[in-house]
Amino acid sequence: MLGGSEAPHVVVFDVGETLVDETRSWSAVADAAGVTALTLFGALGALIERRADHRGVWELLGVPRPLMSVEIETHDLYPDVERNLEALLSAGLRIGLAGNQPDGAETALARLGLPVAFIASSARWGVEKPSPAFFARVVEAAQAPAARIAYVGDRIDNDILPARNAGMFTVFMRRGPWGHVHAHWPQAALADARIDSLDELPPVLESWCAQSR
């Protein structure tokens, strides 16, 4: 068993590009904006490289932001998600999801039937990562002290650094556009662990749990 008999060990996942492949949603938004997916992805990459807010992509492209959202569906999950969440649950870990997500995302994620104890979003909490207040809410939702929480995310700025500052164990996921660019940041070395697939996560968390008992 990964978890001990004292306060529970909890693993909390970011959503976009950690668990959910956002290719379909970004492509749909590109179509609605009247630009090709390649054009939108290129502009996003430029903003990520500049360390700029990705929401400025519409100004960069010179087109209005489409007033639409694309609901997360089961086929948007990366292939390694369901089996590894089940493995972590079976090993005794409490699992949560908490990310910068819009209205409706929690309902869509709940429909996926993932084995999680809680689902939270910036929209409901009224605070976004990387605010320390967001990670204070993670501690509340996890019902465990920060030292017993592992946070898994694909961004150094929004996930790893603020979770680390909150006292959590941090796992950097090198996946998606942010993950691949941020992997080259010097601050990436501050993550407690670095993985390229969720298949690598169970042994990482087993070691962490053993050390933090």
Do the Cβ atoms of 82 and 20 come closer than 8 Å?
Answer: no
Q: Is residue 68 part of a domain?
A: no
| CA distance readout (Å), 129 to 24, 65, 98, 105, 137 | 23, 22, 10, 16, 11
Shared domain check, 89 and 52: no
Shared domain check, 119 and 95: yes
Degrees, nearest 5: CA angle 82-86-92: 150
Q: Is residue 144 part of a domain?
A: yes
Shared domain check, 165 and 141: yes
The confidence score (pLDDT) of residue 4 equals 46
Q: Is residue 2 part of a domain?
A: no
Q: How many domains does the chain have?
A: 2
Shared domain check, 129 and 48: no
Shared domain check, 16 and 35: no
The confidence score (pLDDT) of residue 2 equals 52
Q: Is residue 122 part of a domain?
A: yes
> How many Å apart are CA 169 and CA 19, to the nearest integer?
18
Shared domain check, 171 and 145: yes
Shared domain check, 155 and 86: yes
Do the Cβ atoms of 91 and 6 come closer than 8 Å?
Answer: no
Shared domain check, 41 and 108: no
CB-side exposure of 195: number of CA atoms within 13 Å? 19
Shared domain check, 102 and 31: no
Instruction: Map residue 15 onto helix, strand or coil.
Output: coil
The confidence score (pLDDT) of residue 1 equals 47
Shared domain check, 82 and 41: no
Q: Is residue 69 part of a domain?
A: no
Residue type (1 letter), 62: G
Shared domain check, 91 and 45: no
Q: Is residue 163 part of a domain?
A: yes
pTM for this prediction: 0.94
- pLDDT tens digits, one per residue of 35-61: 999 999 999 999 999 999 999 999 999
Q: Is residue 66 part of a domain?
A: no
H-run or E-run covering 97: strand 94-99
**Is the previous residue joined to 130 through a cis bond, with omega within 30 degrees of 0?**
yes
H-run or E-run covering 177: helix 176-182
| CA distance readout (Å), 76 to 24, 66, 147, 175 | 7, 21, 31, 14
Low-confidence residues of the chain: pLDDT under 50: 1, 3-5
The confidence score (pLDDT) of residue 6 equals 67
The parent domain of residue 50 ranges over: 23-61
Q: Is residue 4 part of a domain?
A: no
Chain centre distance of CA 60: 25
Specify the CATH number for the domain of residue 99.
3.40.50.1000
Shared domain check, 130 and 32: no
User: Residue 19 CB: number of other CB atoms within 10 A?
Assistant: 27
